[in-house]
Amino acid sequence: MASLTLRQHIQHFLDHLEALRYTRETRAHYRGNLREFVQWCDERGITMAQQVSFPQLESWQQHRVAQKNRHGRPITASTVIKKLTSVRHLFRWLVKRQHLRYNPARELELPRRERRLPWGLLSEPETRQVLAMTGSDNPLSVRDRAILETLWSSGIRRSELARLQLSEVDLAGGMLFVRQGKGRQDRVVPLGESARHWLQHYLNDVRPRLVWGKDPDYLFVSQHGRGLTDNSLTQIVRNALHRAGIDKPGGCHLFRHGMATQMLENGADTRHIQAILGHASLESTQIYTRVAIGHLKAVHQQTHPAEREHPAKGEADAEPTP
């Protein structure tokens, strides 16, 4: 039997991940990362796993680090780590299955992970402006308003919203059941009154008109009655931002980041935010405390000498005490 090519090994590896019940999103990340890797190998005449050496992997790593994202900025360390981890996992599997005797990726070092602040956050007034500009003049507008309200109220991820099914929504109890979120963890998140109102409107008056034939059971569906894709949700959010005149990069995560920051500004406990967002580590949630600086601004204004020389307008206009 002829030896399998690198591409064939990759397909078998992806089949292995599916057999282990890796989530669809995780498998998609592996598939995309490994597709980039095998294309890079093809361009250099590397078609067999046995041809891959450690120096070649280092060269590929340097190539990845030099990449730019679609905004023309260098890709983040987290993105590089995900790409390298996919390749390291592949070669570890090849050795375990005895397709290779030596793992050339074993000594591949991962860059240090950055703890970047979320950028392009939506303030509360901006969020309300986006919602107000997504009205109820047609059925799809009602659906889109329900989507935006759900994102802001629950803080769930785009992929989690796309997978959300009718049976996982408890409007009476004000809860969403997020099944197999990131890290394959289930969680229950609260759903506020405004989001419940728009979801009820959508479920009663819009969704029955969108579903044709067999019901896909997804909460949010397209005008053709099928479940919305991740990209469709992003476009809905981008369109809403454009209508509101808000020029900030990002999509669904703007509402997730905004919700976390706004709740912290209003006194929410970090661990409660962690539970809502589904963060495995409190460290991931604590990054929002570095952008929720409303209380710091107040202290700065009250105590900084330069600010005390220029009091706020209300203070400046106040009558002096006799």
- Please confirm, yes or no, whether 310 is among the known catalytic residues: no
> Which of the residues 182, 187, 226, 243 is marked catalytic?
182
Angstrom distance (rounded) from CA 55 to CA 3: 23
Helices marked H in 97-178: 124-132, 139-154, 158-163
Beta carbons within 8 Å of 303's beta carbon, 6+ residues apart: none
In the sheet where 169-170 sits, what is the strand order? 169-170, 175-178, 187-190
Instruction: For residue 177, list its beta bridge partners.
Output: 188
Is residue 154 within 8 Å of residue 260, measured between CB atoms? Answer: no
Closest CA to 282 of 273, 290, 291: 273
> Which of the residues 253, 271, 295, 297 is marked catalytic?
253
Measure the CA dihedral 23/286/119/29, to 10°: -20
- Please confirm, yes or no, whether 253 is among the known catalytic residues: yes
- Please confirm, yes or no, whether 30 is among the known catalytic residues: no
Closest CA to 259 of 273, 275, 238: 273
Q: For residue 165, count other CB atoms closer than 10 A to its CB.
A: 13
Match 């059925």 to its residue by tokens.
Answer: 139
Angstrom distance (rounded) from CA 183 to CA 180: 7
- Please confirm, yes or no, whether 163 is among the known catalytic residues: no
The amino acid that residue 133 corresponds to is M
- Please confirm, yes or no, whether 279 is among the known catalytic residues: yes
- Please confirm, yes or no, whether 9 is among the known catalytic residues: no
Angstrom distance (rounded) from CA 107 to CA 123: 44
> Which of the residues 145, 157, 207, 257 is marked catalytic?
157
Closest CA to 261 of 151, 126, 124, 114: 124
> Which of the residues 30, 202, 218, 288 is marked catalytic?
288
> Which of the residues 9, 145, 256, 257 is marked catalytic?
256
Q: What residues are annotated to the active site?
A: 157, 182, 253, 256, 279, 288
